[in-house]
Structures are given as C-alpha cells and as structure tokens.
Structure 1
Amino acid sequence: MSEPRTRGQTITVSQAAALLGRSDRWVQGLVKSGYMDRAQRGEYTLVGVIRGALAYYEDQLSKNNKAAVASRATEARTREIELRIQERSRELIPMEDAKAVVGEMAALVRAELAGLAARYTRDMEARRALEEVIDGALGRIAGAADKAGAALVAGSSDLEAERET
C-alpha cells in the first residue's frame, strides 16, 4: 500500500480515472480498499495512484494464478476418480492385464497352428509348403501385434488406422 505524500504532483479523482482508463467510482473503490491514499480531500499523488493501480493488478493476477492452479488440481482429481470408476465397472483394465491376455492368445494360436501341417498331410513336400504358409501368416500376425502393442503403449486409441498403414 502506498503512503500519503504531501510533495509531488497531485491529481483529482477524474484525472486519476482518465489516466487509468477507468471510472471515478472505480478509483474511489481502490482508495476504499486501501490501494491508494488521499493527499488532500479529492486529490491523490500521481505516484500513489500509479503504485495503487499496480498493487491492485498484481493482487488480481495473483488471485487468478491461484484459481488456475486450483482448477487444474480439481480437474486432475476428477479425472483420477473417473478412471477409478471405469476400472471398477470393468470398462477399463490395466495395461499389464491386456498385454497378458494378448500374449496368452498369441501363444495359443501359435501352438494350434504349429502342428497343423503334420495333421493335414504326411506328404513332406505338401507339409513344407503348408508350413511356409503358416509361418508367413504367423509372421504377419506377430508384426500386426507389435504395431498394435506400440499403439497401446503410445496411447493411440485408433487401432484400425494403425492396421491400415
């Protein structure tokens, strides 16, 4: 807060309002709030007006920053609660659980297809040709699974777009 100064240039309420681009009432509100002091009745020092306005705006900026921080904290808490609710309602599962299920399914597919050629034919030439087709399919599946896993880790929600590229 500024201290009254008897020396220095003094200005009226109207001049202070014009200087600050505000109304007379607004300037009087700053005086009432303690941001400015009167030099004499209806007059204020120029330095006191400027310092008072600066102090007021610094206070407003500080209040706005505190409100923004509080708002971000509230948003983070809300998001955390939403995630917990989704997890409890089984709309959301931990990444480790998803990877484990995909890994188990991939192992099951590989195990089933590994013996398919031998069950299909005893002809070694046909068996080798079928094994090559199966190995190619398993390789493509593994590549697609790697891309999908990378998309999940990166947080991509559009796995269809990942498959198309």
Structure 2
Amino acid sequence: MAKKATTTSTSSAIIDLTGEEMLSTSGASSLLGITSQWLRQLSANGYIPEAIKGKYPLVAVVQGYVRSLKDEERRSSKVAADSGLKAARQREVELRIGKEEGRLVDMEDVEAIVSNVFATLRAELTGIPAAVTRDVKLRAEIEKGLNGAFARSQGKFREAGEALRSGSDPLGADGENDS
C-alpha cells in the first residue's frame, strides 16, 4: 500500500511597501543589525534621510544602508589596489637605489665576470705543469689535480648561483665555502 503525501500549510506574510512606512531609531538599527549611533552616522553622511520626529523611512533606510556598503566595498578595493601599486613602486625604487649604490648586481653580469676570471686562471695555470717538470707522469698528476680543482670550483660557482637565484645562502647552510 502506497503512502499518501501529506502537505502542511504555512502562512507567510507578504508586505506591500508603500514607501511611507516609518521605523524608530531602535527599529531601524535592529533591522540593519547596527547601532543607533551608526545609523545616525549614516544619516549624517547622507546615505539615509534624517529622522523626522525620531522616525526613519523604511525603504530609504534599507536602500541607504545598501548604498553605504557598496561604497565601502569600492573604497576598500581601491585602497587595496593603491596599496599594491604603492608597494610595487617602493620595491622598484629600492631596487634602483640598491643597484646605484652597488649593493645589487645583475646575476648575468656576475656569471660573465666569474666565467671570464675562471677562463683566465685556467689558461694561466695550465702551463704550469709543463714549466715545472719534464716528467710526463708527474705532469699528468699535476694536470689531473688542477682539472679536479677547476671542476670543483665550477660546481661550487654553479651551486652558489642557483642558491642566490632561489634566495638561499650561497655559501651553504653550514656557512662553509671551502672545497
């Protein structure tokens, strides 16, 4: 056997507003969820009309309050945008000053300089084994040692560059910078 659907009748009041309904200060404050002092401030700021014999027009109160909320939202988003722009400009100025004072340098310039110095040093040092000894085995050992030192130095330079780019300590977590 199928159950029969039951319906419950609820009465809801529909109010037709004529625009002439008036609210007391406490009624308007309660309706909007604000203090009566804030309600008076909204009136002073021109969002809602002034009270007439302690009463406010209902429709004007609600519309004025909504308008004040929208204006506040616009002001807040404008302030946030202005703040972001101001912070970006400040950062740009700080970077420019840092570069002019020599505290900031372009990583590409640093890499080019260090690469140039390494190339010059390598060119100078590669002639030392031949100048020091005619012993081929000893010369090969010296060259092997120099090549190892260059490879380790090049690796450390690469790691330091990556650390600088990521904002980490270029000398490593333990502060050591020896090979």
Q: TM-score, length-normalised on structure 2? A: 0.74
Distance 1:85 1:39, change over 3 A: closer
Distance 1:7 1:56, change over 3 A: closer
Task: Output one character per residue of 1:20-65: Cα deviation in whole Å (capped at 9) or x when no partner.
Answer: 33222321222343323479751332x5433332221221121011
2:33 to 18, 21, 26: 21
CA distance in 2, matches of 1:7, 1:82: 58
CA distance in 2, matches of 1:142, 1:65: 50
Q: Which runs of 5+ in 1 are unaligned?
A: none
Distance 1:86 1:38, change over 3 A: closer
CA distance in 2, matches of 1:69, 1:43: 36
**Which AA in structure 2 matches 1:135?**
N
CA distance in 2, matches of 1:104, 1:52: 71
**Which AA in structure 2 matches 1:161?**
G
1:129 to 141, 144, 158: 141
The total of aligned residue pairs comes to 158
RCO higher in structure (CA 8 A, sep ≥6): 1
1:102 to 109, 114, 131: 114
Secondary structure at the aligned position of 1:130 is classed as helix
- Structure 1 vs Structure 2 CA RMSD: 2.6
Secondary structure at the aligned position of 1:43 is classed as strand
**Which AA in structure 1 matches 2:23?**
I
Q: Which runs of 5+ in 2 are unaligned?
A: 1-16
Q: TM-score, length-normalised on structure 1? A: 0.79
Whose radius of gyration is greater, 1 or 2? 2
